[in-house]
């Protein structure tokens, strides 16, 4: 199978990477079913990368319908070690303005309906998740964005991403509550992805593209899909440049990541007691520990 060390998951408004060369579309099946869409392998800055449109290229999947396990497992099957997520988010802070970028370092889970583990069916594992983002990958992303000196936008290093269930946007009371918790941005997708990437020992970090002020701001209209997509179209080019520069730096100097050994002390069940079918299903995740 084709291979790529760097994966990119594009969210709302980012359904393809324009700069990819020598593109190959790969239909991948996984023990968790098919991913959101075909994976697009291509060369960016001289390096093979794998791109996936999180909601499908025609945006046909709700956040609650996303096949998170298949998406991460497919990346693992391609040999991905670093996964960059690009996501639209609403701002929960006055100073974080639409068109700004944030590289969050924390998450708060407000989802109710997501499968966010590969484990179960006879094998128990508890990954450490106190630091849910790979700090070295996050640093590569922030340094890459900063180096571009993009005009008229502020880049925030760190911040808390609230992951809500959706698909309806928040109520004002919810939005005010998240603000009172000190959270920075809100979206509907990144937390299950980050958990599963960690279980799959893939370094994960998010480039969050601020598209709106959610619904709490007295001087701004409440978020609408139109607002999100319009603002993403405005800074989609910058987002792609930022990802391209991140890939260049990652390929030149791939950083170590604690995520790459996340399962070392996480698996509780003795592996010889794990049912064969489960061992086979999770083969790629377990192989180095068997
Ligand atoms: C289209 S607005 C809401 C939608 O946008 C964000 O998607 P993604 O994280 O994939 O960029 C948000 O999480 C919602 O899924
Ligand atoms: N305000 C918001 N809430 C949830 N997801 C979003 N994606 C973009 N803006 C959002």
User: Which residues line ligand 1 at a C-beta cut-off of 6 Å?
Assistant: 11-12, 54-55, 63, 87-88, 166, 187-189, 225, 228
Portion of the chain with pLDDT greater than 70, in percent: 100
Closest by CA to 116, choosing from 182, 177, 189, is 189
The pLDDT score that the predictor gives to residue 145 is 97
Write the CATH number of the domain with boundaries 6-286: 3.40.50.1580
Q: Is 212 a catalytic residue?
A: yes
Q: Is 37 a catalytic residue?
A: no
Q: Is the CB of residue 90 below 6 angstroms from any atom belonging to ligand 2?
A: yes
Gyration radius (Cα) of the chain, Å: 18
Which residues are documented as binding site? 12, 54-55, 87-88, 188-189, 212-214
- Residue 42 pairs in a beta bridge with 49
Domain boundaries, the chain: 6-286
Atom 6 in ligand 1: which residue has the minimum CA distance? 88
The pLDDT score that the predictor gives to residue 237 is 92
Number of DSSP helices (H) and strands (E) in the chain, helices first: 7, 11
Positive or negative torsion for Cα 217, 90, 153, 139: positive
- Residue 51 pairs in a beta bridge with 8, 40
List pLDDT tens digits, range 223-275.
999 999 999 999 899 999 999 999 999 999 999 999 999 999 999 999 999 99
List pLDDT tens digits, range 140-185.
999 999 999 999 889 999 999 999 999 999 999 999 999 999 999 9
């Amino acid at each position: 199978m084709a291979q790529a060390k760097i994966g990119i998951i594009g969210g709302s408004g980012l359904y393809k990477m324009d700069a990819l060369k020598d593109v190959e579309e790969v239909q991948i099946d996984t023990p968790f079913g098919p991913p959101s869409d075909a994976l697009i392998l291509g060369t960016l800055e001289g390096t093979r990368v794998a791109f996936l449109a999180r909601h499908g290229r025609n945006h046909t999947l709700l956040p609650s319908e996303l096949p998170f396990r298949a998406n991460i497992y497919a990346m693992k099957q391609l040999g991905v070690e670093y996964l960059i997520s690009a996501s639209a988010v609403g701002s929960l802070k006055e100073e974080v303005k639409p068109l700004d970028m944030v590289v969050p370092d924390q998450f708060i889970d407000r989802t109710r309906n997501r499968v966010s583990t590969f484990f179960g069916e006879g094998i128990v594992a508890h990954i450490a998740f106190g630091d849910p983002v790979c700090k070295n990958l996050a640093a590569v992303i922030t340094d890459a964005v900063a180096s571009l000196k993009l005009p008229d936008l502020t880049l925030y290093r760190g911040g808390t991403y609230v992951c809500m269930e959706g698909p309806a946007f928040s109520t004002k009371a919810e939005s005010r509550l998240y603000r009172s918790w000190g959270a920075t941005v809100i979206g509907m997708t990144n937390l299950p992805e980050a958990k599963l990437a960690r279980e799959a020992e893939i370094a994960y970090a998010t480039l969050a593209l601020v598209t709106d002020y959610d619904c709490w701001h007295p001087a701004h209209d409440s978020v609408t899909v139109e607002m999100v997509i319009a603002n993403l179209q405005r800074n989609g080019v910058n987002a792609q440049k930022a990802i391209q520069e991140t890939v260049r730096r990652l390929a030149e100097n791939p950083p170590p990541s604690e995520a790459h050994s996340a399962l070392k002390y996480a698996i509780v069940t003795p592996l010889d007691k794990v049912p064969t079918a489960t061992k086979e299903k999770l083969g790629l995740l377990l192989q180095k520990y068997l």
